[in-house]
């Protein structure tokens, strides 16, 4: 396993009490595997990603659990050492390419800096490598584009540059947080294809964080669905999409509009209410106030992930009947 999380918990101590943003999250990603992490705003998916790279905004802190990269614990590394791991072993792609790029330096300067920091190459060699990276991510005229500034690129091209930066030091893991959300649908399809190609070709593990089930369906091998800080369902992407087990996943899938080409249009399934705020997570299962299938046990006891077909689902509906 490239990345494995065991019981990761992230808390934000505030004056009005401690908020648990990520609660006992465990999963693992194999080489070449793309794990989709999906959820609505506030589900804790981005914070999980930031916890792995240890870039949580204070006062957020890892309050429990372990993060292992290639078997080695990284959640307790000293800052300086973590900084090297982050650059060398983990590449990161954020939603807005402009936050990852320095507007005052050319794309080439930024690539060369990243490469020479992490790999034993001369500047000339690094420049050669920068050109081949830009070619690999599909930027036409790579040689000339090296001397351009970020503002001279279009949105889609900028995201390609960010991906080139993320893979510059040949990381074993890429964390992509909503990499296509800011892009138009035709550009989005290109970036999805690129991410898939890279994971396959280089055997890189990818943690793909997104709210868009369509993007997950196109790219991921497995998917973890998050709700109120916890994983409520995790399994192979086909199973989760075609046969969701958790009532939240069922509602989520039903609420996604699909292209219908017939005249008969059906109402979208809707989950009433909204995700609870972190300071008001209900007792028992966090989803119970919105759940159409809740029963008594859901109100008092919080379900752990239970086996449900090829997936695991944190729902008492899947508890063995004997229990």
Tell me how far apart the alpha carbons of residues 135 and 267 are, in angstroms, rounded to a whole number.
46
Q: Which is nearer to other proteins, 287 or 316 (CB)?
A: 287
Other Cβ atoms closer than 10 A to 197:
13
> 59-84 b/e with 16+ CB inside 10 Å = b?
ebebbebebbbeeeebbebeeeebee
Region 81-120 residues binding other proteins, contact defined as CB under 8 A: none
Q: Name the minimum Å distance from CB 180 to other proteins.
A: 9
Q: Are 29 and 3 in contact (CB under 8 A)?
A: yes
Establish if 267 lies at the interface with other proteins (CB under 8 A).
yes
Q: Which is nearer to other proteins, 64 or 289 (CB)?
A: 289
Q: Name the minimum Å distance from CB 69 to other proteins.
A: 29
Establish if 279 lies at the interface with other proteins (CB under 8 A).
no
Other Cβ atoms closer than 10 A to 138:
17
Establish if 40 lies at the interface with other proteins (CB under 8 A).
yes
- Per CB under 8 A, which region of 81-89, 206-214, 296-304, 307-315 contacts other proteins? 206-214
Establish if 212 lies at the interface with other proteins (CB under 8 A).
yes
SS3 160: helix
Q: Name the minimum Å distance from CB 179 to other proteins.
A: 13
3, 174, 213, 314: residue in contact with other proteins (rule CB under 8 A): 213
Establish if 292 lies at the interface with other proteins (CB under 8 A).
no
DSSP 181: T
- Per CB under 8 A, which region of 14-22, 67-75, 143-151, 211-219 contacts other proteins? 211-219
Q: Are 110 and 165 in contact (CB under 8 A)?
A: yes
Tell me how far apart the alpha carbons of residues 173 and 227 are, in angstroms, rounded to a whole number.
24
Establish if 224 lies at the interface with other proteins (CB under 8 A).
no
Q: Name the minimum Å distance from CB 218 to other proteins.
A: 5
Q: Name the minimum Å distance from CB 182 to other proteins.
A: 10
Establish if 211 lies at the interface with other proteins (CB under 8 A).
yes
> 142-166 b/e with 16+ CB inside 10 Å = b?
beebbebbbeebeebbbbbbbbbbb
Tell me how far apart the alpha carbons of residues 164 and 151 are, in angstroms, rounded to a whole number.
16
Question: What's the CA dihedral at 84, 67, 1, 179 to 10 degrees?
Answer: -70
Q: Which is nearer to other proteins, 76 or 154 (CB)?
A: 154
28, 121, 217, 306: residue in contact with other proteins (rule CB under 8 A): 217
Q: Name the minimum Å distance from CB 152 to other proteins.
A: 12
Taking phi over 0 as left and psi of -120 to 50 as alpha, with beta for the rest, 239 belongs to: alpha
Q: Which is nearer to other proteins, 122 or 186 (CB)?
A: 186
Establish if 151 lies at the interface with other proteins (CB under 8 A).
no
Q: Name the minimum Å distance from CB 201 to other proteins.
A: 17
218, 232, 286, 288: residue in contact with other proteins (rule CB under 8 A): 218
How many residues make up the chain in this entry?
A: 323
Residue 38: strand pairing partners: 210, 225
Residues that bind other proteins in the complex, under the rule CB under 8 A: 40-41, 154, 156-157, 184-190, 192-193, 211-215, 217-218, 237-238, 241-242, 251-252, 254-263, 265, 267-272, 274-275
């Amino acid at each position: 396993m490239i990345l494995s999380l065991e019981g990761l918990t992230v808390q934000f101590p505030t004056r009005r009490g401690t908020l648990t943003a990520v609660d006992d999250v465990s999963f693992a990603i194999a080489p070449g595997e793309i794990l989709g992490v999906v959820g609505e705003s506030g589900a804790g998916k981005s914070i999980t990603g930031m916890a792995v790279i240890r870039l949580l905004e204070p006062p957020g802190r890892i309050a429990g659990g372990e993060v292992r990269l290639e078997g080695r614990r990284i959640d307790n590394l000293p800052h300086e050492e973590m900084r090297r791991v982050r650059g060398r072993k983990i590449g990161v792609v954020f939603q807005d390419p402009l936050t990852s790029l320095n507007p005052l330096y050319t794309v080439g300067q930024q690539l060369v800096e990243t490469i020479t920091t992490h790999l034993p190459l001369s500047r000339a060699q690094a420049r050669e490598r920068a050109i081949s990276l830009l070619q690999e991510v599909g930027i036409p005229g790579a040689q000339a584009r090296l001397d351009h500034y970020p503002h001279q690129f279009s949105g889609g091209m900028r995201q390609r540059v960010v991906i080139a930066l993320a893979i510059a030091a040949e990381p074993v893991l890429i964390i992509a947080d909503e990499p296509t959300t800011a892009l138009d649908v035709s550009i989005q399809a290109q970036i999805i294809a690129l991410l898939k190609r890279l994971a396959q070709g280089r055997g890189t593990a990818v943690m793909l964080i997104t709210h868009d089930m369509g993007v997950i369906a196109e790219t991921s091998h497995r998917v973890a669905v998050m709700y109120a800080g916890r994983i409520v369902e995790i399994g192979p992407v086909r199973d989760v999409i075609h046969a969701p087990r958790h009532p939240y996943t069922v509602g989520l899938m039903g609420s996604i509009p699909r292209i219908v080409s017939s005249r008969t249009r059906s109402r979208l399934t809707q989950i009433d209410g909204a995700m609870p705020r972190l300071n008001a997570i209900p007792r028992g299962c966090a989803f119970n106030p919105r759940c159409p299938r809740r029963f008594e046990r859901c109100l008092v006891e919080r379900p752990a992930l239970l086996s449900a077909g090829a997936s695991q689902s944190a729902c008492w509906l899947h508890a063995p009947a004997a229990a």
